[in-house]
Structure 1
Amino acid sequence: MKKILTLIFVLAAFSAFAQHNSQNSLDWAGTYKGIMPCADCEGIRTIITLTEKNEFSVRMQYLGKKANEYKYSGKVVWNSGESIITLITKGDNSKEYYFVGEGYIQKLDSDKKKIDGDLEEMFKLKKADEYELIVFDSGFDFWLNSSGHSISQYSNEYLRSMNISYVQEWNRRNIMGDRRFESYIDYDTFEDYNKDFNYKLFMYFKYFEEKNRLKLIPGTGRF
């Protein structure tokens, strides 16, 4: 069974269940992403992760706004005999409803009905591809594209080795309580991550170092 990696990015991959409704017939656990409609911004970039332990986490970014990022988590409850889940937020017990389809989830209204109209399709979040690294920091893509480096400069073996070292140090600082390292990274050293994934993860660590003016691994250069 593959795992989810969440930080400011997510790795999506899970295995399937058995029969009848979406809960036991679809490969529903995983990470879903999309841009939902917004009344006073350019859109809401949304990433929802559902786990087989019936837990969820949500990250939302209001595009075009300064104070634009929000996150929350809680438990997933399946409506008996239906392909509908209720997301109950930890703390205030607020509820959201989603229809679970093949490869997507769709936000419903407070009556658990689909939101009709021209924007209906925008309320669907598509399941992320396996081993897709989703970085929430809006500055990362620009930095990556202007870094002057390319994936061809590195072997996958080198990237994997460096990522293992970076992840170990990141997780150590996370456990020590440094809030800059907001999530524990579950990077499986036995998993055969592809080169695109390893390169993007490696470059994210470099971006994080430069942005925060620190070295996660002493003795390493900028690249």
Structure 2
Amino acid sequence: MRIYLYIISILTACLVSISCINNKANADVESNVDRSRQKYNLSGRYEGNLPCADCSAISTTLVLNKDRTYSLHYTYVGKSDELFHKDGVWRVDSDVLHLESEDYNYKIEGDRLSQLDLSGKEMTGNLAGKYILDRVD
């Protein structure tokens, strides 16, 4: 009987230890997210004319709200007057802005956002400096 009590007390001590370690790991992750949120004040309006293969430009407006939602509007200049619109949630991870339901992410560079390619790397080539959305308010 004593052996069973001894085994139960050891198992209980192990479970309590594991629980404490897991809570510390979760707290570290949450504090990193909080630091990332404090580091950037991204809410506002961003605009730019992004390069387009079969039109003059993609006139783009991105509004980032304080509640972590976004609104994206764009038109294909010289091709169509149709206004495209998407809404969703945004987050920041390692200096990169991620828009839910969007293929492209943006590197945060002060008051501007630099669009990354589909693999998440910085754009290269002659047009690389044109994939920019500047903060307008």
* TM-score, structure 1 as length reference: 0.43
Deviations 1:27-75 (A, max 9, x none): 3111100100000000010000111211111100111123532111111
More strand by share: 2
Does structure 2 retain, via aligned residues, the 8 Å contact 1:86–1:95? no
What residue is the counterpart of 2:21 in the other structure?
none
Q: How does 1:1-223 map to 2 (within 5 A)?
A: 21=36, 23-79=37-93, 82-89=94-101, 94-128=102-136, 130=137
Distance 1:113 1:33 in 2: 21
- SS of residue in 2 equivalent to 1:96: coil
Could you say which structure has the larger radius of gyration? 2
CA distance in 2, matches of 1:72, 1:85: 16
Distance 2:122 2:80 in 1: 31
Deviation, 1:78, is 2.0
Higher helix proportion (structure 1 or 2): 2
1:173 maps to what in 2?
Answer: none
Q: How much does 1:119 deviate?
A: 0.9
- Unmatched 5+ stretches in structure 1: 1-18, 131-223
> How many aligned residue pairs are there?
104
SS class of match (1:113): coil
Once the two structures are superposed, what CA deviation does each residue of 1:117-146 show, in whole Å capped at 9, x if it has no partner?
A: 111111110000x4xxxxxxxxxxxxxxxx
Kindly indicate whether the alpha-carbon contact (under 8 Å) linking 1:109 and 1:115 is maintained by their aligned counterparts in 2: yes
Which residue identity is paired with 1:116?
T
* Identical amino acids, percent of aligned pairs: 23
Give 1:20 deviation, angstroms.
5.7
SS in 2 for 1:121: helix
- 1:124/1:27 Cα in 2 relative to 1: closer, same or farther (>3 Å)? same
Distance 1:66 1:99 in 2: 28
Q: TM-score, normalised by structure 2?
A: 0.68
Q: Runs ≥4 in structure 1, deviation > 6 angstroms?
A: none
Give the 3-state SS of the residue equivalent to 1:99 in structure 2. strand
Question: 1: CA distance between counterparts of 2:116 and 2:131?
Answer: 8
| 1:201 paired residue number | none
Would the alpha carbon gap of residues 55 and 42 (structure 1) be closer, same or farther in structure 2, given more than 3 Å must change? same
Unaligned runs of 5+ in 2: 1-33
